[in-house]
A and B are shown apart, each in its own frame.
Chain A
Amino acid sequence: QVQLVQSGAEVKKPGASVKVSCKTSGYTFSAYYIHWVRQAPGQGLEWMGWINTNSGGGTKYAQKFQGRVTVTRDTSISTAYMELSRLTSDDTAVYYCTRDMYMIQFDSWGQGTLVTVSS
C-alpha cells in the first residue's frame, strides 16, 4: 500500500532552518509529484510548493515562500525533502507532504511533522 512517512517533530530557534523528509513506499516514486502543505495551529491548509519527482526534478513554490523554501528529492531512496530557512514564530505549523495523482488529486498524505519555532 502507498505510504508517506515523515520525519519527526522539530524545535528550532528563530532564524534557523528546518529540513523535513517524506519517505514514500508502495508505488513508483518518480511517477507522481509531491507537494508540501502546512497548517498553523488552529488554522487552515496552506500550499507551499511541489516537486516533479522524475529525472527533471522541477519545482514550483508559492510566491510567499520564494527564496526561503527548497524542495528536493532523492529518487534512490524514494524520499522528498522540504527545507525552510529564516524561520520565525509564524512558521510554527504542522507540515505535510502529499502525493498528487494528477492535477491536485492529493490521494495520499504523510502523517505530518510539527515544527515549533521558539526562542
Chain B
Amino acid sequence: QSALTQPPSASGSSGQSVTISCTGSSSDYVSWLQQHPGKAPKLIIYEVSKRPSGVPDRFSGSKSGNTASLTVSGLQAEDEADYYCTSYAASNPPVLFGGGTKVTVL
C-alpha cells in the first residue's frame, strides 16, 4: 500500500483533458513522473507546478491541501503511459511514491 494515493486508471479521448489526483502529502515538493512501458521514468512536473525544459505545456500541476493534481490537456496518443506522483516527507521513508495511474487515450 502506497503512502500517496492515486487512482489506478484514468482515460480521455484524444484532444480532451484528464486530471490525476495524488492524496496524502502537504509538502511543497511534489513531482510527477511519466513512464512508458519498458522505459525509465521521466520527470514532467516538479515543485508542484514547475515544468522541466522540454516538457510540453499541456502538462500542468497544482495542489490544494494534501492533494496534488496533474492535468494533461489536449491528450495525444503518446501521453498514454503510467504516471506517478512523488513527494518529500519529513519521515521515513522521506521519499514517497504514489501507486501510479495508467492513462489511456481513447
Number of residue pairs A-B, CB distance < 8 angstroms: 61
Interface string of A53-65 (1 = CB under 8 A from B): 0000000101110
Given A96-B40, A110-B40: A45 and B33 within 8 A (CB)? yes
Cβ-based interface call for B64 (8 A): no
A106→B41 contact, CB < 8 A: yes
Say which residue of B29, B92, B100 sits within 8 Å of A104 (CB atoms): B29
Query: What are the residues of chain A within 8 A of B106 when measuring CB–CB?
Result: none
User: Does B10 interact with chain A (Cβ within 8 Å)?
Assistant: no
Is A32 close to B, CB under 8 A?
no
**In the docked arrangement, what's the CA distance between A57 and B43, Å?**
25
Is the CB–CB distance between B47 and A44 below 8 Å? no
Q: Once bound together, how far apart are the Cα atoms of A15 and B98, in whole Å?
A: 30
> How many interface residues does chain A have, given as a range?
20 to 34
Q: Is the CB of A112 within 8 A of B100?
A: no
A44 & B40 in contact (Cβ 8 Å cutoff): no
Most chain B CB within a 10 A radius of its CB, from A37, A45, A112:
A45
**CA of A101 to CA of B88 in the docked complex: distance in angstroms?**
13
CB distance from B89 to the nearest CB of A (A): 10
Which residues of A (40-77) have their CB < 8 Å from a CB of B?
A: 44-47, 50, 60, 62-64
User: Which residues on A sit within 8 Å (CB–CB) of B29?
Assistant: 103-104
Minimum CB distance partner of A44 in chain B: B100
Contacts of B52 in A (CB 8 A): 107
A106 touches B33 (CB 8 A): yes
Contact B93 A47 (CB under 8 A): yes
Complex Cα distance A109/B69, Å?
23
Q: Does A105 contact B (CB under 8 A)?
A: yes
Q: Is B61 an interface residue when CB atoms closer than 8 A count as contact?
A: no
Q: Kindly list the 7 A-B residue pairs having the minimum CB-CB distance in the complex, ordered from nearest.
A: A109-B40, A47-B95, A62-B93, A105-B46, A103-B29, A44-B100, A45-B97
Beyond A44-B2, A63-B93, A106-B31, 12 additional pairs, beta carbon < 8 A: A44-B84, A44-B99, A45-B33, A45-B41, A45-B100, A46-B97, A101-B46, A104-B87, A104-B95, A106-B33, A106-B43, A109-B40
